[in-house]
Amino acid sequence: MPYVGNPLADAFSSRVKQDLTGQSGTSFTLTHAVSHANDLSVYINHVRQEPTTAYSVNGTTLTTTGSVAGTDDFYIIYDELAVQSISHPTDQALTATSGTFTSGLVGTTATFSGAVSGTTGTFSGAISGTLGTAAQTNITSVGTLSGLTVDGDVGFTGANYNISWDKSDNALEFQDNAKLTFGAGNDLQIYHTPGTGTFIDEANDGDLFIRSSRVTIHKYTGETMINAAADGAVSLYYDDSKKFQTSNTGVEIYNGSTGSSPNITLKDMNSGVVSGDVGGYIDFYTNDGNAQGTSARIQAKYENAAGGTGIAFEVGTGAGTTERVRINNFGQMQFSVNSSDRTALYFKDSGNSNYAVSGYESATYNGGTNMWYTQNSTHFGIKTSGSMGFFMKHDTRQVTLSYSGQNYPGDTSKQLTVGYSLGNNKGGIYMPTYSYYSDVQFRVVNNDTNNGRQHDDFFFQRNGTRHGGIRIIGGSGVSYQSISDYREKTDEKPIEDAIGTIKKLKPYNFMWKKSGVRQDGFFAHEVDEILDYAVSGKKDATKTYEGVVLNKEGNMIASEIKKEDFDKRLDDGDDEEASPKGETTYPEGSTWKETYEDIEPQQMDPAKLVPVLTAALQEAIKRIEVLESK
């Protein structure tokens, strides 16, 4: 059919570009031979060069008038070279309003403002435009897309449930029960069921891995429920408050709020329990190579059908455990000890080296031994109503019976102290007496009502032998005895000038300062100058005492008294019946001092004057006899 104008193109041509960037100098080789400089366009740094002036050509050689640097952007466009093809150039976009193709459409990109329909279409780049109905089937079932960009909403219609891309919400939206599945067998499924919740199912019993350096599970409002960190703690929360956390040594339990206490509760939901049933337990596992297994157990044991519960402690090895201690529902503690060592309780000090022991020895009703005993450098005491009634101090082997609860010896609050330590010298008996009472005394009762034998009621021993004693002589009084055997003595000499010695002694009638009692006697330091063996101590010696009570005259009337005890006695001073004078109160005007220097009195044994008095009397008798004979 004839037509007016240019003929319709039945082929497309594309100009060829040669990139010479990186080459330098004035002479360059072309990939296509040209006949004139006007047949190509030369660009240096995107500036077109003037033919024949800036460059010349000869076949495949291009010569520039100036030197080109290797850093210049240098390329050539062959203007007169036509490479023709029936197909649209693959490096150019196909742009049209609409198009109909009866055979294959192949290209990189295509932009259509109208509908496109055809049999097949293959694009390696993006397709922009409106796809007609005829092409949808081919694109979804036959066509191959290496990329698809949709600028708008997309809907995917399923047999029962749908999925859509909402551009305005920037969301891929799954309807209820529409599933997101993974795996060849749809093993992993994620979906939401209305009224029930959202599910993540691993359908074939496989592992579900969540991999991250930190995993946190929050409530949709932001409240933390679980927090897990790699190489760190895993924490569980209740109402946004941490309750449980792992650590490098185990687990930690938190209370989470002020006023509450952290706790672990084991709930036994069984009903109809009977005696012997276990209500819960905690096991301790040992990995010892000889016996791996539970080596200790703490368990709740029902003791009756009413749910009365005791706590049992089992110990042993990984091969098995045995109940050794139980606290029953009445609060009583029961011990089941090994037959080879019947010690039930060990109390160790902070150094884990010294300990006290309370034990039980097997006994029948009328035989055997039940005992409580201490061991090593520890003490033992028994309290009643918060006060120490019995106290044994281990290092001094001291036993104290007290009514006030004090556990130190040698003051007026003790009934009896055995093994009292004086100046760190061990031994002795201490018992305070009160002259206010007629029955507060150190009383020794001899139960021999037949008076048939005479033995010591007090026995004094030193260096392995008896040195004396005190005896109650039937109905004849008390005998005071001291060792005087000649076999214990040597270098005996007669006493000379006994009368002269006696004449040197200065007996006085004097009054005691603290009691006001008058008495005949001696001054110890004066006797010491004449008969030093009868006196102990030094003249004018003093000593610093602690916890001292002074009367209003300034005389010391008590020592080793604690300040709180002194104050209490003053507070009780008005109660004559409960606090008689001289027992729990002090004289009016008394004061307490932490330390006080007082005299350390000298002592004298008057019995030691008897031998010299006897010798003086004998001398006097001789003189009398001489005088009488004249």
Stretch 377-398: mean pLDDT: 58
Q: What is the pLDDT of residue 132?
A: 47
pLDDT tens, position by position, 458-509: 888 888 888 999 988 876 788 889 999 999 999 999 999 999 999 999 999 9
Q: What is the pLDDT of residue 382?
A: 61
The two structure tokens encoding residue 51:
């033919």
Query: Contact 378/349 with Cβ under 8 angstroms?
Result: yes
Q: What is the pLDDT of residue 425?
A: 54
Q: What is the pLDDT of residue 540?
A: 95
Q: What is the pLDDT of residue 374?
A: 53
SS3 sequence, 90-113? CCCCEEECCEEEEEEEEECCEEEE
457-474 burial by CB neighbour count: b if 16+ within 10 A, else e?
beeeeeeeeeeebebbee
Separation between Cα atoms, residue 47 and residue 490, nearest integer Å: 143
Separation between Cα atoms, residue 61 and residue 48, nearest integer Å: 18
Query: Contact 495/611 with Cβ under 8 angstroms?
Result: yes
Query: Contact 188/180 with Cβ under 8 angstroms?
Result: no
DSSP code per residue over 170-192: TEEEE-TT--EEESTT--EEEEE
Pairing of β 542-550 and β 556-558: antiparallel
Phi, psi of 336 (to 5 degrees): -120, 100
Q: What is the pLDDT of residue 357?
A: 57
Q: What is the pLDDT of residue 379?
A: 61
pLDDT tens, position by position, 264-301: 888 999 888 899 899 999 999 998 777 889 999 999 99
Q: What is the pLDDT of residue 562?
A: 87
Q: What is the pLDDT of residue 582?
A: 46
Where do we find the tokens 């036994």?
A: 268
Where do we find the tokens 């687990």?
A: 251
Q: What is the pTM of this model?
A: 0.41
pLDDT band at 625 (very low <50, low <70, confident <90, very high): very high
DSSP code per residue over 27-48: EEEEEEEESSGGGEEEEETTEE
Separation between Cα atoms, residue 462 and residue 468, nearest integer Å: 9
Stretch 3-9: mean pLDDT: 51
Flag whether pLDDT at 362 surpasses 60. Answer: no
Q: What is the pLDDT of residue 592?
A: 94
Query: Taking all residues of the chain, what is their mean pLDDT, rounded to a whole number?
Result: 78
Phi, psi of 342 (to 5 degrees): -90, 15
Q: What is the pLDDT of residue 287?
A: 86
Compute the C-alpha angle 73/76/81, nearest 5°: 165
Separation between Cα atoms, residue 502 and residue 609, nearest integer Å: 9
Q: What is the pLDDT of residue 76?
A: 92
Cβ neighbours, 10 Å, residue 575: 11
> Where exactly are the structural domains of the chain?
12-85
Query: Contact 79/15 with Cβ under 8 angstroms?
Result: yes
pLDDT tens, position by position, 56-108: 999 899 999 999 998 999 999 988 765 454 455 555 555 554 555 555 555 55
Stretch 371-381: mean pLDDT: 55
Stretch 206-219: mean pLDDT: 89
Find the range with the poorest average confidence among 167-176, 179-188, 601-610.
Answer: 179-188
pLDDT band at 386 (very low <50, low <70, confident <90, very high): low
401-430 burial by CB neighbour count: b if 16+ within 10 A, else e?
ebebebbbbbbbbbeebbbbbeeeeeeeeb
